[in-house]
A and B are shown apart, each in its own frame.
Chain A
Amino acid sequence: MAEPLIKLENIWKIYQLGKVNLEILRGIDLEIAPGNFVVLLGPSGSGKSTLLNIIGLLDVPTKGKVLLEGQDTSLLSEDELAHIRGKKIGFIFQQFNLLPNLNALENVMIPMLFQGAPEKERRERSEFLLSSVGLKERMSHRPFELSGGEQQRIAIARSFANNPDVIVADEPTGNLDSTTGQKIMEILMNLHEKENKTMIVVTHDPGIAEYSEQIVHIKDGQIASNHLAAGHVLWKKVNK
C-alpha cells in the first residue's frame, strides 16, 4: 500500500460537560490511501461526524495526531489550516451549506477566491464544474430558487473547485429523497472515477456503503471494524 494520504494516530475527542468528561472519540487509528472511497458507518452518536470533522481539519482532536500527506497538522496555525482546507479538502454537507446571497456560480467560485485564483480562471473552472454536475442552465440562480438535489450538486461542484486531494462528505444524501440521493451518489462516483479523488463519506445509508472501497464501522467512539479488503471485493461486484 502506498503512503497513506491521511493518517490518524490515536485520536481522542473529549468534551467537558460540567464535571463529566464526554468521550466522543476514543483512540482512533486510521489510514486512508490516496484515491480510496471510504465510508464511515455507524449509529448516530457514534462519533463518526466528529471524526470526519477532524479528518477535514474543521475540528482539532483533544489528543492524537492528524497527518495529511505526512504533515502533522497539529503544528499548524488556524490560518494555515484554513489554507489547507481550502486547497486540499472539499466539503459536502448534509445541509448543503451554500451561501444564500450568492448565485450558484459565485458559490462555486468562492473557494478559489480564497486561494487567490484570477477571476477568469475562477469563472471558467466554475462553469465547467457546474456543467459537469448538470447545472449549466442554473448558474445564475440563487440557492433558495433551487431544489435540494440541485443545491447539493452546487455543493459538489464547489467541493471540487480547488481540485482538492480529498472530498469529505457528511451525510450527503441525508436531506434528499432516495431517488435524488441516488443521483447525487452517481454524480459523486462519476467524479471520483474521473478525477481519482479520495472520498470520505459519513452515512448510515447502507445503499451508499455499496459504492465504497473501504468501510469503517464506528461504534462508541472506536473503530469496530475496518473492511478494506471486503470493500474491494464488494466494489468489484457492484461494477460487474
Chain B
Amino acid sequence: MMWSTAIWKRTWGDQRGLVLALGALWAAFPWIYLGLSAQIPMSDFQMLLRLIPEDWQRISGVPLAEVATPAGRVALAFVDPVIVLAATVWGITRGSDAVSGQLERGTLEMVLAAPVSRAAVFVTQAIAVTTGAAVLCGILLASVCTAVAFGPWAGLVEPARFVPAVANVFGLMVGLAGITAAVSAADNHRWRTIGILCGFYVVSLLAKLVGRLSDAFGWVGWLSMFGVYEPQRLVGGTVASWSLLARYDGVLLGLGILGYVVGAMIFSRRDLPAPL
C-alpha cells in the first residue's frame, strides 16, 4: 500500500510552521504590493518603463505596453522575489526532507523498522507536500483576488485573470519539490541536497537570462526551468493564457512527478546508512 496516515499526519506536523509562515506572507503580500504600487500613477509608471534599456525589456517576457496596465502591474507581483523565493523555499526545504533530511536526523531508522514500505513513506510525504503547496497557492489566490477586487484598482481588473498565474506558482513549487525529492532520495545529507538544488536554481536563472538576452544563445533559455515560469504572461484573461499555462504547468508538474517517481525508485532500492 502506497499510503500511511501516520506519515501524513507527521509530515503535516513537520511542515505546519512553514505553511503558517508562508501563508501569512502570501496573505499579506498582494495587499502590500498593490498598496505600494498604486502610489505610482500609471503615467509615471509608463515613463519609468520607457527609461529601461530596450535589451533589458526582453527579460520581462511581455511587451512593456502590457506591463503598463493595472493587470500587468499586478502580474509583476508574481515575479517578485517574495513570491518566487517563497515558492523556492517551499520546494527545496520540503523536497530535501523526503529522505536525506530524515537520514541526517536519524528518524528514518525507527520509521522503517515498522511494517511500512519505503514507497508508502515517500509517496505519502509527496502528497502532503503537494497538498501544502496547493493550500499556500489557495491562500495566495484568495489574497490576490480580494486585493484586486477591493484594493486601489478595484473594478479595473477582473480577479479571475490571475488564476493561471497562481497555478503557475503551484507548478513551480511542485516541480522544485519533485526534483529536490529525487536528489534527496539519493543523498545522505540534507545540506548537500539543498546545496545541489541552490546550484541548479542559480544555473537555471542564468540560463534564462542568457537565453533572453543573447540571440546566438537563445537555445540556452530552453534549458532553464524558469523558461516555463512566466506568470506575467498568463494574466491576459484569454484562452491563450490558459493554453500557455497548460504548456508551462505541463512541464513543471511533469518534472515534479518525474522527480517523485525517480526518487521513489531510488529510495526503494538504495542502501540506507545507519544514523551517524
Chains A and B form a bound pair: no
